Amino acid sequence: MRKVIANEWMTLDGVVQSPSYPDEDASGGFAHGGWHARYFDELSMRWVVENVRGAGGYLLGRGTYEIFAAHWPTAPQEQQVLAEPLNALPKYVASMTLAAPLLWQNSTLLGGDVASAVRALKAEQGGDLHVIGSPGLVQSLLAFDLLDEVRVMIDPVLVGGGKRLFGRDGAHRTLRLLDSQVTSTGAIIARYATGG
């Protein structure tokens, strides 16, 4: 059985919205887009590449899928170390609003019953499935006990609001720290096992 692993960039106050660019996701009036870039160093870049290239496939929510599908198929040469696996490996997209067929190569729409679809994917042979971004999907996977691991890079910045990785469903969940490192920029890279 393969694992489902969430890979996230997160602020110290738990926000994952619009980490890369100012206009990446301004929904809800979020005005602090692009907060993550200054915290990259050699260690964190290696961590990102290892996570993306080590996946057997990806689980994506609609918003992340649309951002990725608009960028990675035509990514510049210096980004090919990430673009190659993102374009080539299977992508499973959880959405109630997108329609099949999806245009980005190797993309499959999961549609309505995401929990059953992910359970079936986990039961297949193959490499682990990585969730990138997609906070709503991460919250659903946690609620259905389908998330096995959370890998986060926690940046030492507070943005005061925005989409958070963990919802406010009132559930009590205990995670177990598997390993952690501190980057030269003061960010913390941590890997946690869930109860999934």
Q: What is the mean pLDDT of each run of 10 residues along the chain (196 residues)?
A: 96 95 92 95 96 97 95 96 98 94 96 91 96 94 95 97 86 93 98 86
CA pair distance 162, 195, nearest whole angstrom? 26
Please, which residues bridge with residue 33 across strands?
none
What confidence score (pLDDT) does residue 169 get? 76
Domain locations along the chain:
4-193
CA pair distance 88, 90, nearest whole angstrom? 7
CB atoms under 10 Å from CB of 101, counted, come to 8
CA pair distance 103, 72, nearest whole angstrom? 12
What confidence score (pLDDT) does residue 58 get? 98
What confidence score (pLDDT) does residue 168 get? 79
Fold classification of 4-193 (topology level) = Dihydrofolate Reductase, subunit A (3.40.430)
What confidence score (pLDDT) does residue 112 get? 78
What confidence score (pLDDT) does residue 196 get? 55
Question: What amino acid is encoded at 23 in this protein?
Answer: D
What confidence score (pLDDT) does residue 171 get? 81
